[in-house]
Amino acid sequence: MEDLNRQQVILLTLFVTFVTSIATGIVTVSLMDQAPTGATNTVERVIERTVASATGNDGSSNTATAISAASAASASAQANPTDIRARAVNIASNSLVRIALQDPSGNGSSTVTGIGVIVSKKGLILTDKSAVAVFGSYVAILPDGKNVPVAIIQSQDNGDIVFLAVALAQSAGETFTPAVFAPATGTNAPALGQSVVVLSGSDSTTVDEGYIRRINTNTDAVTSTTTLAGYTTSITSSSTIIGSLLFNFSGQLVGIKTFSLNTSGSNNYYPVSLLSSVIPVINAGTQAH
Protein backbone atom coordinates (compact mmCIF):
# COMPACT_ATOMS: atom_id res chain seq x y z
CA MET A 1 0.00 0.00 0.00
CA GLU A 2 2.88 2.40 0.77
CA ASP A 3 4.14 2.05 -2.82
CA LEU A 4 0.80 3.11 -4.31
CA ASN A 5 0.21 6.68 -5.38
CA ARG A 6 -3.01 8.57 -4.66
CA GLN A 7 -4.71 7.59 -7.95
CA GLN A 8 -3.92 3.89 -7.48
CA VAL A 9 -5.29 3.93 -3.94
CA ILE A 10 -8.55 5.46 -5.18
CA LEU A 11 -8.86 2.86 -7.95
CA LEU A 12 -8.15 0.03 -5.50
CA THR A 13 -10.80 1.37 -3.12
CA LEU A 14 -13.38 1.54 -5.92
CA PHE A 15 -12.54 -2.03 -6.98
CA VAL A 16 -12.95 -3.39 -3.44
CA THR A 17 -16.26 -1.50 -3.07
CA PHE A 18 -17.51 -2.92 -6.38
CA VAL A 19 -16.64 -6.52 -5.46
CA THR A 20 -18.23 -6.10 -2.02
CA SER A 21 -21.48 -4.76 -3.54
CA ILE A 22 -21.70 -7.75 -5.91
CA ALA A 23 -21.15 -10.19 -3.04
CA THR A 24 -23.76 -8.39 -0.95
CA GLY A 25 -26.27 -8.58 -3.80
CA ILE A 26 -25.71 -12.31 -4.27
CA VAL A 27 -26.17 -12.98 -0.55
CA THR A 28 -29.29 -10.79 -0.46
CA VAL A 29 -30.93 -12.58 -3.38
CA SER A 30 -30.04 -15.98 -1.86
CA LEU A 31 -31.55 -14.99 1.48
CA MET A 32 -34.67 -13.62 -0.24
CA ASP A 33 -35.09 -16.92 -2.09
CA GLN A 34 -34.95 -18.85 1.17
CA ALA A 35 -37.04 -16.48 3.23
CA PRO A 36 -40.69 -17.23 4.08
CA THR A 37 -43.35 -15.33 2.18
CA GLY A 38 -44.15 -13.16 5.19
CA ALA A 39 -40.59 -11.92 5.42
CA THR A 40 -40.32 -11.05 1.74
CA ASN A 41 -43.63 -9.22 1.88
CA THR A 42 -42.28 -7.14 4.75
CA VAL A 43 -39.15 -6.28 2.73
CA GLU A 44 -41.33 -5.20 -0.19
CA ARG A 45 -43.38 -2.91 2.06
CA VAL A 46 -40.18 -1.33 3.42
CA ILE A 47 -38.94 -0.71 -0.13
CA GLU A 48 -42.28 0.82 -1.08
CA ARG A 49 -42.31 3.27 1.84
CA THR A 50 -38.63 4.14 1.40
CA VAL A 51 -39.09 5.00 -2.26
CA ALA A 52 -42.22 6.98 -1.49
CA SER A 53 -40.34 9.03 1.11
CA ALA A 54 -37.38 9.60 -1.20
CA THR A 55 -39.56 10.87 -4.05
CA GLY A 56 -41.58 13.14 -1.79
CA ASN A 57 -44.89 11.75 -3.06
CA ASP A 58 -46.83 8.53 -3.01
CA GLY A 59 -44.20 6.93 -5.20
CA SER A 60 -46.85 5.25 -7.32
CA SER A 61 -44.76 4.81 -10.45
CA ASN A 62 -41.29 4.45 -8.97
CA THR A 63 -42.58 2.24 -6.17
CA ALA A 64 -44.03 -0.18 -8.69
CA THR A 65 -40.60 -0.53 -10.27
CA ALA A 66 -38.95 -1.10 -6.90
CA ILE A 67 -41.51 -3.69 -5.87
CA SER A 68 -41.15 -5.48 -9.17
CA ALA A 69 -37.41 -5.77 -8.58
CA ALA A 70 -37.97 -7.14 -5.10
CA SER A 71 -40.61 -9.54 -6.37
CA ALA A 72 -38.24 -10.89 -8.99
CA ALA A 73 -35.63 -11.52 -6.32
CA SER A 74 -38.09 -13.43 -4.15
CA ALA A 75 -40.11 -15.22 -6.84
CA SER A 76 -38.93 -18.67 -5.90
CA ALA A 77 -39.79 -18.04 -2.25
CA GLN A 78 -43.34 -17.10 -3.13
CA ALA A 79 -43.93 -19.91 -5.64
CA ASN A 80 -45.83 -22.53 -3.68
CA PRO A 81 -45.64 -26.02 -5.25
CA THR A 82 -48.79 -27.01 -3.40
CA ASP A 83 -50.74 -24.16 -5.01
CA ILE A 84 -49.38 -25.02 -8.45
CA ARG A 85 -50.36 -28.66 -8.06
CA ALA A 86 -53.81 -27.79 -6.71
CA ARG A 87 -54.43 -25.43 -9.63
CA ALA A 88 -53.45 -28.15 -12.11
CA VAL A 89 -55.72 -30.68 -10.42
CA ASN A 90 -58.60 -28.21 -10.43
CA ILE A 91 -58.21 -27.64 -14.18
CA ALA A 92 -57.86 -31.36 -14.91
CA SER A 93 -60.86 -32.36 -12.79
CA ASN A 94 -63.21 -30.38 -15.02
CA SER A 95 -62.68 -32.89 -17.85
CA LEU A 96 -62.57 -36.15 -15.84
CA VAL A 97 -65.50 -38.55 -16.05
CA ARG A 98 -66.19 -42.02 -14.69
CA ILE A 99 -67.56 -44.74 -16.92
CA ALA A 100 -70.15 -46.93 -15.20
CA LEU A 101 -72.09 -50.04 -16.20
CA GLN A 102 -75.77 -49.79 -15.35
CA ASP A 103 -77.44 -52.59 -13.46
CA PRO A 104 -79.55 -54.57 -15.98
CA SER A 105 -82.32 -54.98 -13.41
CA GLY A 106 -83.17 -51.33 -13.87
CA ASN A 107 -82.85 -50.40 -10.19
CA GLY A 108 -80.80 -47.34 -11.08
CA SER A 109 -77.52 -48.56 -9.63
CA SER A 110 -74.28 -48.72 -11.58
CA THR A 111 -70.70 -49.94 -11.20
CA VAL A 112 -67.70 -47.81 -12.16
CA THR A 113 -65.60 -49.68 -14.74
CA GLY A 114 -63.01 -47.04 -15.59
CA ILE A 115 -62.14 -43.40 -16.03
CA GLY A 116 -62.43 -41.29 -19.15
CA VAL A 117 -61.69 -37.75 -20.22
CA ILE A 118 -63.78 -35.24 -22.16
CA VAL A 119 -62.02 -34.23 -25.39
CA SER A 120 -64.60 -32.04 -27.14
CA LYS A 121 -67.18 -29.41 -26.24
CA LYS A 122 -69.90 -31.72 -27.57
CA GLY A 123 -69.12 -34.34 -24.97
CA LEU A 124 -66.82 -36.74 -26.81
CA ILE A 125 -65.08 -38.97 -24.26
CA LEU A 126 -61.82 -40.86 -24.56
CA THR A 127 -61.24 -43.98 -22.47
CA ASP A 128 -59.80 -47.51 -22.50
CA LYS A 129 -61.64 -50.36 -24.21
CA SER A 130 -61.68 -52.41 -21.03
CA ALA A 131 -63.94 -49.81 -19.43
CA VAL A 132 -66.73 -50.80 -21.81
CA ALA A 133 -65.77 -54.44 -22.46
CA VAL A 134 -68.86 -56.03 -20.92
CA PHE A 135 -72.10 -56.01 -22.91
CA GLY A 136 -74.61 -53.61 -21.39
CA SER A 137 -75.64 -50.00 -21.01
CA TYR A 138 -73.07 -47.47 -19.87
CA VAL A 139 -73.24 -43.98 -18.45
CA ALA A 140 -70.63 -41.30 -17.98
CA ILE A 141 -70.60 -39.68 -14.56
CA LEU A 142 -69.75 -36.05 -15.30
CA PRO A 143 -67.76 -33.73 -13.02
CA ASP A 144 -71.00 -32.21 -11.72
CA GLY A 145 -72.30 -35.69 -10.76
CA LYS A 146 -74.83 -35.96 -13.57
CA ASN A 147 -75.13 -39.35 -15.34
CA VAL A 148 -75.50 -39.37 -19.13
CA PRO A 149 -75.79 -42.46 -21.34
CA VAL A 150 -72.84 -43.09 -23.68
CA ALA A 151 -72.07 -45.36 -26.63
CA ILE A 152 -68.95 -46.26 -28.61
CA ILE A 153 -68.60 -44.36 -31.89
CA GLN A 154 -64.96 -45.12 -32.74
CA SER A 155 -62.36 -47.62 -31.59
CA GLN A 156 -58.70 -48.29 -32.33
CA ASP A 157 -58.26 -51.39 -34.49
CA ASN A 158 -54.98 -52.38 -32.87
CA GLY A 159 -55.03 -50.42 -29.66
CA ASP A 160 -56.79 -49.80 -26.37
CA ILE A 161 -58.53 -46.51 -27.04
CA VAL A 162 -62.23 -45.95 -27.66
CA PHE A 163 -64.23 -42.77 -28.14
CA LEU A 164 -67.67 -42.48 -26.56
CA ALA A 165 -70.44 -40.06 -27.43
CA VAL A 166 -73.05 -38.91 -24.95
CA ALA A 167 -76.77 -39.22 -25.56
CA LEU A 168 -78.05 -36.02 -27.12
CA ALA A 169 -81.35 -35.81 -25.22
CA GLN A 170 -79.85 -36.27 -21.76
CA SER A 171 -76.95 -33.91 -22.42
CA ALA A 172 -79.10 -30.97 -23.53
CA GLY A 173 -77.97 -27.84 -21.72
CA GLU A 174 -74.87 -29.56 -20.33
CA THR A 175 -71.55 -27.75 -20.63
CA PHE A 176 -68.57 -29.96 -21.40
CA THR A 177 -65.02 -28.84 -20.63
CA PRO A 178 -62.54 -30.70 -22.84
CA ALA A 179 -59.02 -31.42 -21.67
CA VAL A 180 -56.17 -29.59 -23.34
CA PHE A 181 -53.57 -31.99 -24.73
CA ALA A 182 -49.94 -31.39 -23.86
CA PRO A 183 -47.99 -30.50 -27.04
CA ALA A 184 -46.24 -33.40 -28.77
CA THR A 185 -43.11 -31.43 -29.58
CA GLY A 186 -41.36 -28.23 -28.59
CA THR A 187 -40.16 -26.77 -25.33
CA ASN A 188 -43.51 -27.43 -23.60
CA ALA A 189 -43.74 -31.08 -24.60
CA PRO A 190 -43.55 -33.68 -21.79
CA ALA A 191 -39.92 -34.04 -20.76
CA LEU A 192 -37.77 -36.39 -18.73
CA GLY A 193 -37.96 -35.42 -15.06
CA GLN A 194 -41.06 -33.26 -15.49
CA SER A 195 -43.47 -33.20 -12.55
CA VAL A 196 -46.84 -34.82 -13.25
CA VAL A 197 -50.01 -35.76 -11.38
CA VAL A 198 -52.33 -38.72 -11.90
CA LEU A 199 -56.06 -38.43 -11.34
CA SER A 200 -57.77 -41.70 -10.53
CA GLY A 201 -60.28 -43.31 -8.16
CA SER A 202 -63.51 -45.29 -8.61
CA ASP A 203 -65.72 -43.52 -6.09
CA SER A 204 -63.91 -40.23 -5.60
CA THR A 205 -60.92 -38.57 -7.19
CA THR A 206 -57.48 -39.45 -5.90
CA VAL A 207 -54.33 -37.52 -6.75
CA ASP A 208 -50.81 -38.92 -6.93
CA GLU A 209 -47.76 -36.86 -7.76
CA GLY A 210 -44.49 -37.93 -9.37
CA TYR A 211 -42.30 -37.28 -12.36
CA ILE A 212 -41.59 -38.74 -15.79
CA ARG A 213 -38.85 -41.34 -15.28
CA ARG A 214 -38.54 -42.52 -18.86
CA ILE A 215 -39.86 -41.62 -22.31
CA ASN A 216 -40.47 -44.85 -24.20
CA THR A 217 -40.03 -45.09 -27.97
CA ASN A 218 -40.41 -47.64 -30.76
CA THR A 219 -37.97 -47.92 -33.66
CA ASP A 220 -39.12 -49.28 -37.00
CA ALA A 221 -36.74 -52.04 -38.15
CA VAL A 222 -37.12 -51.10 -41.81
CA THR A 223 -37.11 -47.31 -41.80
CA SER A 224 -35.26 -46.81 -38.49
CA THR A 225 -37.90 -44.22 -37.64
CA THR A 226 -38.34 -43.64 -33.91
CA THR A 227 -41.81 -42.86 -32.57
CA LEU A 228 -43.16 -42.06 -29.13
CA ALA A 229 -44.63 -45.10 -27.34
CA GLY A 230 -45.39 -44.00 -23.80
CA TYR A 231 -44.30 -42.42 -20.54
CA THR A 232 -43.01 -44.25 -17.49
CA THR A 233 -43.59 -42.34 -14.25
CA SER A 234 -42.42 -42.67 -10.68
CA ILE A 235 -46.05 -43.10 -9.56
CA THR A 236 -46.93 -46.61 -8.38
CA SER A 237 -50.13 -48.29 -9.53
CA SER A 238 -51.55 -49.23 -6.13
CA SER A 239 -54.03 -46.36 -6.21
CA THR A 240 -54.67 -46.06 -9.94
CA ILE A 241 -57.17 -47.84 -12.18
CA ILE A 242 -57.52 -48.33 -15.93
CA GLY A 243 -58.20 -45.02 -17.62
CA SER A 244 -56.33 -43.01 -14.97
CA LEU A 245 -55.22 -39.69 -16.41
CA LEU A 246 -51.73 -38.20 -16.41
CA PHE A 247 -51.50 -34.38 -16.36
CA ASN A 248 -48.64 -31.91 -16.21
CA PHE A 249 -48.59 -29.02 -13.74
CA SER A 250 -50.29 -26.76 -16.29
CA GLY A 251 -53.35 -29.02 -16.23
CA GLN A 252 -52.64 -30.37 -19.72
CA LEU A 253 -53.39 -34.02 -20.48
CA VAL A 254 -50.21 -36.03 -21.06
CA GLY A 255 -51.31 -39.67 -21.04
CA ILE A 256 -53.85 -42.30 -20.08
CA LYS A 257 -53.37 -45.64 -18.37
CA THR A 258 -54.42 -48.38 -20.78
CA PHE A 259 -54.92 -52.09 -20.27
CA SER A 260 -52.00 -53.14 -22.50
CA LEU A 261 -49.48 -50.80 -20.89
CA ASN A 262 -50.74 -51.76 -17.46
CA THR A 263 -49.77 -55.39 -18.03
CA SER A 264 -46.24 -54.53 -19.10
CA GLY A 265 -45.59 -51.77 -16.57
CA SER A 266 -47.88 -50.54 -13.85
CA ASN A 267 -46.61 -46.98 -14.07
CA ASN A 268 -46.77 -46.57 -17.87
CA TYR A 269 -49.12 -44.20 -19.69
CA TYR A 270 -50.16 -44.00 -23.33
CA PRO A 271 -49.34 -40.58 -24.86
CA VAL A 272 -52.53 -38.80 -25.88
CA SER A 273 -50.60 -36.67 -28.36
CA LEU A 274 -50.74 -39.71 -30.67
CA LEU A 275 -54.53 -39.34 -30.75
CA SER A 276 -54.78 -35.69 -31.75
CA SER A 277 -55.21 -36.46 -35.43
CA VAL A 278 -57.77 -39.26 -34.99
CA ILE A 279 -60.29 -37.65 -32.65
CA PRO A 280 -63.66 -38.00 -34.39
CA VAL A 281 -65.83 -34.98 -35.08
CA ILE A 282 -69.31 -35.54 -33.77
CA ASN A 283 -72.62 -33.83 -34.38
CA ALA A 284 -76.22 -34.42 -33.41
CA GLY A 285 -76.48 -37.30 -35.86
CA THR A 286 -73.55 -39.25 -34.45
CA GLN A 287 -74.25 -38.93 -30.74
CA ALA A 288 -75.56 -41.86 -28.72
CA HIS A 289 -79.30 -42.32 -28.62
pTM of structure = 0.69
pLDDT bin (cut points 50, 70, 90) of residue 277 is confident
H or E element at residue 164: strand 161-166
Q: Residue 236 has what pLDDT?
A: 79
Asked whether residue 70 carries a pLDDT value surpassing 90, the answer given is no
Q: Which residue has the higher pLDDT, 193 or 224?
A: 193
β-strands 253-256, 245-248 pairing: antiparallel
Overall average pLDDT of the 91-120 stretch: 91
User: What's the confidence (pLDDT) of residue 109?
Assistant: 86
- Here the contacts of 40-47 (C-beta below 8 Å, separation 24 or greater) are 40/70, 40/74, 40/77, 40/78, 43/70, 43/74, 44/70, 44/71, 44/74
Report the distance separating Cα 55 and Cα 51, nearest Å.
6
Q: How many CB atoms lie within 10 A of CB 40?
A: 21
For residue 265, with 0-12 CB atoms within 10 Å meaning exposed, 13-18 middle and 19 or more buried, which class applies?
middle
Model confidence band, residue 143 (pLDDT cutoffs 50, 70, 90):
very high
